[in-house]
Structures are given as C-alpha cells and as structure tokens.
Structure 1
Amino acid sequence: MSPEKYALLQGLFPLIVTIVAVAVTGWVITTWMRIKHGYPLDGAWGQAVYPQKSEETIERVRLLSQENAQLRAELGSVKDRLATVERIVTDSGALLSREIDQLRDRAN
C-alpha cells in the first residue's frame, strides 16, 4: 500500500468511526424511546414485534378508556354551557332588556 493511500485511510478512519458511533447511538436511543412509550419494535425485516401484554397493561388501557369517556362527556357539557354563555353575551342589549322587562311583567 502506498504511503498516500495509507495517509488517506488514517485521515478517514476517525470520521468513519464517528459516523458509525453516532448511528448506533441513535438506534439505541430510538429503540429505548419506542419501548418506553409502548410503540412496537421492528424485527430484522421491518415487521412489527409487539411487546407482550400483561394484566397490568390491559387494566391500564381499560381505566384510560373509562377516563376518556368521562372526559368526553364533561367536554360536551362544557361546550353546551359555553354556547349558552356566548348566546347571552352576543345578544343585543335591547333584546336582553326587553326579555328582562317581560319577566318582570310576568312576576307582577
């Protein structure tokens, strides 16, 4: 091997090692994050490898589904209340005073 080629390889070797180290570190971090957040892992050929389901996981999903349903119901009632408040705020003052006067007349 000529000294020029040897010098070129010596110069490229740290760059190649750095690129490989960054790629491997990125793969490890990505895999760790997928495991932490419950995403399926990829097998050797790209197929999904799903983690085993435990009783704790099934119970957690059930509780989260119940909480989601409760929050959706609460959100619906909040939307209804907000629509009522918006209607009251956007009504003209004359209409509101007329309705108040009509209510007073009924009371008398």
Structure 2
Amino acid sequence: MHGPWFVLSIIAMSMAAWIINNWIRAKHGYSISDDWGRNIDKGDANAARHIALLGQENEQLTGKVSRLEERIAVLERIATDPATRTAREIDALRDR
C-alpha cells in the first residue's frame, strides 16, 4: 500500500526540483534546459553578438592585466633595489 505513494512522491519531488532549477537558471540569465540538459531557447539571435562582445571585453581586460603586471614589476624593482641606486635613477630623470 505504501509503494505507489512512495513512487509518486519521488516523481513529484523530481518534477519540483526540475521546476525550481529552471526558475533559478532563468532568474540568473541562463538558458532553460529540458529533461536531458539541452537548451530550449535555441533561436537566440543575440548569442553571436554577445560572444563577440565578451571577446572584445576579454581582450581589453587582458591588456589591462598586462599593463598592471608591468607596473607591479616596476614597483617590485623599486621596493627591492638599494636606496642609493633608486635615488641615482630619480636624479638622472630629473636632470633630463
């Protein structure tokens, strides 16, 4: 007698979990998937444009990171070099 209710409760919990999962995905901007993990909204015309924009943003961020790495290298050199050498280099730059 408990067998059918047990099976039905497992099915109900699975369906509820699937609905909650898709609701959370939609809320955070992810595409909704079916039971087998395939995306339902395959007709997304903005996907290619979005990918291109992400590529451009990635290039910009890569450039910023490389510039920051150069600046950090200079700051590390200043911090670890002897004070007299750094003072000479600053004076040389002032004399220009």
Same fold by TM (over 0.5)?
Answer: yes
1:49 is matched with which residue: 32, 38, 42? 38
Query: Normalized against structure 1, the TM-score is what?
Result: 0.58
Matches within 5 A, 1:33-72: 33-35=24-26, 36-38=29-31, 41-43=34-36, 48-50=37-39, 51-72=41-62
Larger radius of gyration: 1
SS of equivalent residue, structure 1 residue 49: coil
1:94 pairs with one of 50, 63, 84: 84
Q: Which runs of 5+ in 2 are unaligned?
A: none
By relative contact order (CA 8 Å, sep 6+), the higher-ranking structure is 2
- Aligned partner of 1:84 in structure 2 is 74
State how far apart, in whole Å, the 1-side matches of 2:65 and 2:32 are: 28
User: Aligned pair count?
Assistant: 91
> What is the letter of the counterpart of residue 62 of structure 1?
A
Name the CA shift for 1:42/1:75 in 2 (closer, same or farther; >3 Å). Answer: farther
Structure 1 unmatched ranges of 5 or more: 1-5
| CA displacement at 1:29 relative to structure 2 | 1.4
Aligned CA-pair RMSD: 3.4
What does residue 3 of structure 1 align with?
Answer: none
Q: TM-score, normalised by structure 2?
A: 0.63
Q: Distance in 2 between matches of 1:86 and 1:95?
A: 14
2:25–2:31 Cα contact (<8 Å) kept: yes
Q: Which amino acid aligns with 1:38?
A: S
Aligned residues of 2:25 and 2:32 also touching (Cα < 8 A) = yes
Deviation at 1:84, TM superposition (A): 0.9
Query: In the TM superposition, what is the alpha-carbon distance from 1:41 to its structure 2 partner?
Result: 4.3
Distance 1:80 1:41, change over 3 A: farther
